[in-house]
Amino acid sequence: MSEENSPKKSWRERLKHTYRLVVMNEETFEDVASYRLSILNVYILISTLLVLLTILVVAFIAFTPAKRLIPGYGEANALPELIKVNRELDSLEEELRAQQLYTEHFRKMLTGEVQTVEDIKSEPVEFPDSALHIERIPEDEEIRREVALAEMRNNNRQPETVIQRSNDLPLEQMYFISPLIGEISKRFKLEEKHYGVDILAPKNTPVKAVLPGWVISASWNTDTGNTIIIQHANNVVTQYKHNSALLKNVGDFVKAGEAVAIIGNTGEQTSGPHLHFELWHNGQPVNPEKYISF
C-alpha cells in the first residue's frame, strides 16, 4: 500500500513545493524583485482569472446590445421594436406613394391635363357641420318618404329606390356602391384623425352616392373645399370632399350610384386631385374599406 501511494504523495508534494521567481538587473545582476511561488498557487491564480473573465463576458453579453449579435438570443425582446419599425416603414412607403401620385397629378395640372381652379363651382350653399349629428325626427322622415313616393309616381319610377326605415340594420347587411373606382392614396386612420379614405381617379370622374339618401349639405369651406354630405337610412351619413364641382343641392333626394359631384382638388387640406370619402354610422366614423370596394 505504501508503494502504491508514493506516486500520489510525490505529486502532492510537487504541487506544494515552492519556487522563487527572481527579477534581476541584466547589467548588474542585482535582485530587483523576488517572489515565492508554487504550482498550486499558479493553478489557483489562473483559475481565478478565468472565472473572472467568464463573468465579465457573460455580463457584457447580457447587459449590452452585444447580445443581438448572437443568433437566437434576445429575439423575443426585439420583436416589439421590429413591429414598430415595420409599421413606420409602411407609413413612410404610403406617404412616398402619395407624394409621387401628387407630383404626377401636379405635373398634369401644369400641362393642362386636369381641371383648374376656374372649374370650381361658385356661390355654394353654407350648411353647419352640426347637421352630421342631428337625429332624424320620425314625423319628418315620414313626410320625406311620402314626398319621394309622390315624386317617383310622377316620374314613373319604382318605389324600390325609396329609403327604407331600418334603424337597426348592421352595416354588413347594407349594399354600398363605390363612390368611384381609383387608387387609395391614404387610408382610414382614427388615431391621426383621418376619418376617411383618399381616392385618386382621372380628371372629370363623377363622384357617386353610395346609398340612396337626402343631401343635407352642399357647401364650400376653406379646409375641404366643395363638400357634399348625404344622410341615409340606418343613421348613416356619407361625406364627399375636395370636389371641383357639386351636382346636387341641399334637400335633393339622390339614388345609389347617382353622380353628386366631380372629383377635384379644392380646399387647403389637400395634396392633389382626389376624393376624400367618409362613412359615419350613429355619429361615429367607420373604415369605409370594410364595406366598400374601391
192 and 258 share a domain? yes
Collect all residues with Cβ–Cβ distance below 8 Å to 189 and sequence separation of at least 6: none
Contact 218, 127 (CB under 8 A): yes
Q: Which of 294, 235, 230 is nearest to 261 (CA)?
A: 230
57 and 143 share a domain? no
- For the chain, the straight-line distance linking the first and the last C-alpha, in angstroms and rounded, comes to 97
Alpha-carbon distances, residue 290 vs 55, 174, 182 (angstroms): 56, 12, 16
131 and 277 share a domain? yes
Torsion 291-241-244-187 (CA) sign? negative
Q: Assign 110 a pLDDT band (cuts: 50, 70, 90).
A: low
Q: Which helix (H) or strand (E) holds 81?
A: helix 75-110
Question: 35: domain range?
Answer: 2-68
173 and 28 share a domain? no
Where is the domain boundary, 53, 68, 83?
Answer: 68
Domain contains 20: yes
Q: Which of 194, 270, 196, 279 is nearest to 230 (CA)?
A: 279
279 and 181 share a domain? yes
Domain contains 112: no
Domain contains 94: no
Domain contains 159: yes
Contact 102, 271 (CB under 8 A): yes
55 and 138 share a domain? no
Contact 121, 246 (CB under 8 A): yes
Higher pLDDT, 150 or 257: 257
pLDDT tens by residue, 219-249: 888 888 899 999 998 889 999 999 999 999 9
pLDDT tens by residue, 19-56: 777 888 888 778 778 878 777 888 888 999 999 999 99
The enclosing domain of 160 has a CATH number of 2.70.70.10
19 and 151 share a domain? no
The number of distinct structural domains making up the chain is 2
Domain contains 101: no
Q: Assign 129 a pLDDT band (cuts: 50, 70, 90).
A: very low
Higher pLDDT, 96 or 197: 197
Domain contains 73: no
Domain contains 117: no
Residue 114, pLDDT above cutoff 60? no
pLDDT tens by residue, 261-289: 999 888 776 667 889 999 999 889 999 99
Domain contains 74: no
